Amino acid sequence: MPVRKAVVQSPIGLHARPAAIFVRAVTDSGLPVRIGKAGIVPVDARSLLEVMTADFHSGCEVELSVDPEALPARYSVESAEAALEGLTLLLEAGAAA
């Protein structure tokens, strides 16, 4: 399963605008990405409501994952890994701020 860890750098975490930017990037990837952190069940990263209510605060470590069995036919595991790397960079650069 493609997995990446990232630390949320947005000063307000994944709430409101930063969450919307992140969710849009996930949706644009076309992949069924899940996001989680210690102590919570991973949520669908394509859902703004789920991401915002999961309380991914600034500085928390999150795990992004894609189940290979849920990959759309046009994607390989390698392309999913590349997409997760891009999403990781987005979170860690604070670009979703």
Mean pLDDT of 80-89: 95
Per-residue pLDDT band at 97 (split at 50, 70, 90): low
Q: Return the sign of the alpha-carbon dihedral for residues 57, 59, 12, 62.
A: negative
Per-residue pLDDT band at 20 (split at 50, 70, 90): very high
The Cα–Cα gap between 88 and 97 comes to: 14
Concerning whether 57 is annotated as a catalytic residue, the answer is no
48-60 pLDDT, tens digit per residue, is 999 999 999 999 9
> Looking at residue 43, what is its pLDDT?
97
Catalytic residue among 5, 9, 15, 95: 15
Q: What is the pTM of this model?
A: 0.91
63-83 pLDDT, tens digit per residue, is 999 987 888 888 888 999 999
The Cα–Cα gap between 4 and 1 comes to: 10
Mean pLDDT of 31-58: 96
